[in-house]
Amino acid sequence: MLGLAPLRSAPLPIRASATACGRNTSLANGCQLSLLAPEAAEGDTALPENMHKWRMVIAYDGTKFKGWQYQPSIPTIQYFLEDALICITKLDRKKLCLVGAGRTDTGVHAWGQVAHFTTPFSYSCLSSIHSAMNGLLPPEIRVREISAARPEFHARSSTKSKVYRYKIYNEAIMDPFHNHYAYHSAYKLNPHAMQEAANYFVGIHDFTSFANAAHNDGERRPTKKITRFDVTEMGAVLQLEVEGTGFLYRQVRNMVALLLQVGKEALPPDIVPAIIAARDRKELAKVALSAPPHGLYLMSVNYDEEILKPPEGSPPISFGRTHHLSKCKLTLY
């Protein structure tokens, strides 16, 4: 497991308006951070030409959330991140322009989601805004790090590859502590057959057969490159990890669904190239249903080293280590 805490049964609170936050934000430890932006920027409705961009790495337990993408008054990951940023920066969501690298579905978890946002001012220190963010967010969402980003960096379009992991608990009796974080297969799976089948996914293919239709699809580019697909036994947990240049809507869960059928020895491993070649989602639907979301994790989003180099004179990256707030005031300039 990724060390995700057990969930409380209470529903997530939805604030009526993030802008209702006061100028001082109270953190869990009782500290008060002054979050007032410079006067010149505070009353400005137009964005200054010289914008500053910031990159965040985010982890979340997706069980209680309706996916990543923002929906008004709906508990999504983007909603809560924007809510916290609006409270801290006093900017509206249009100015913040928060963009995530991947739009994870309802119930899907993440350890290495990446997002960027923009501000018309800079920060001299990121540790305090980092603490403020995590103090405002629900406990199921945590910003792991914040850093300055180059103007050309884009969380989604600059992506080099993504790594997804799917966990299967493969014992007759389900471990209750894995209940929200792994799919339960009481049927003993054959990991060697699954690995043989997974190898057929590696390479450049048209993955139309493994994509569900999405409302915001537009014109899809179904040809993707899978660089690795590993099946690893870890005691009772079977871990499937795939890395690729990009993935279609629900592609990973549909690939896992087919591998589960191969693991049950209901289908041969060479069914994979046959379904890929069909380029028809209906062919997959004949033999496998989509795997449920709670076993899936977005583990990391990878970029070229050059695009991750911070701008000259930017504040040090904040990794969220313990620090004394008195040594790092939240200064905007």
Burial label for 196, CB within 10 Å (0-12, 13-18, 19+), is middle
Nearest alpha carbon to residue 76 among 47, 113, 31, 43: 113
DSSP string, 143-194: EEEEEEE-TT--TTTT--EEEEEEEEE-SSS--GGGTTTSEE--SPP-HHHH
Tokens of 147: 């850093």
The CA R_g of the chain, rounded to the nearest whole Å, is: 22
Helices (H), 19-145: 39-42, 77-89, 93-96, 127-136
Question: Is residue 203 packed enough to be buried (19+ CB in 10 Å), middle (13-18) or exposed (0-12)?
Answer: exposed
Residues belonging to the active site:
105
**Does the CA dihedral 293-299-303-307 come out positive or negative?**
positive
